Amino acid sequence: MDTAKKAGVGYVCVTGGEPMLQEHIGELLNALITEKKWTVSLETNGSVSLKNVPGEVVKVVDVKLSGSGEGRSFLLENLSVLNEKDELKFVVTSEADFHEAVAFIQQHYPTGSSHPYLTLSPAAEQMPPDRLAELLMQSGLTEARLQLQLHKILWGDEREK
């Protein structure tokens, strides 16, 4: 909080590793919202319940697909706490991943239903962005958007940026 205050920002993104595993994450999120009145987002892999995350926090939740190699860690119960200001994202490594993401979206968010912001992002050096864009356009899945990992485009794997 001190670092953000010194920087003079009005928006804070809590991320890095899995922030929901930190012991005092709830206290931090509440303090950022109530004490500092900052706009706050939380980037998480969805493997920990989000039911106690304050409603004011924008939740950016990653659904791990088969190609991630990280297994099925996503808790389906987290879908019930997401709303239209939140984001459900899928990092796509292959066409099989793409079809898995589409099936997930169609199962949990039928066309016309209320849903969080849905994004599909090509995994760097695995799924060409133009191919993912093509697949997305062909799918007719108008609820989802293509999102490029800008940090990967600009800095590759550099962690200090």
Task: Sketch the domain layout of the chain as residue ranges.
Answer: 1-60, 63-161
153 or 26: whose pLDDT is higher?
A: 26
Residue 13 to residue 42: CA distance in whole angstroms: 6
Is 28:1 a contact under the CB 8 Å cutoff?
yes
Query: Mean pLDDT score of the chain, rounded to an integer?
Result: 89
Percentage of the chain modeled with pLDDT above 70: 98
Q: List alpha helices for 45-128, DSSP H.
A: 95-108
Q: What is the pTM of this model?
A: 0.87
Strand order in the sheet with 144-146: 11-14, 39-44, 58-62, 87-92, 117-122, 144-146
Asked if the model's pLDDT at residue 33 lies above 70, the reply is: yes
Q: Which residues contact 57 (CB under 8 A, 6 or more apart)?
A: 29, 33, 40, 41, 42
Is 89:59 a contact under the CB 8 Å cutoff?
no
Per-residue pLDDT of 73-132, as tens digits, reads 889 999 999 999 999 999 999 999 999 999 999 999 877 778 889 999 999 789 999 999
CA dihedral 140, 85, 123, 14 (to 10 degrees): 180
Residue 92 to residue 87: CA distance in whole angstroms: 16
156 or 123: whose pLDDT is higher?
A: 123
Average pLDDT value for residue range 138-148: 90
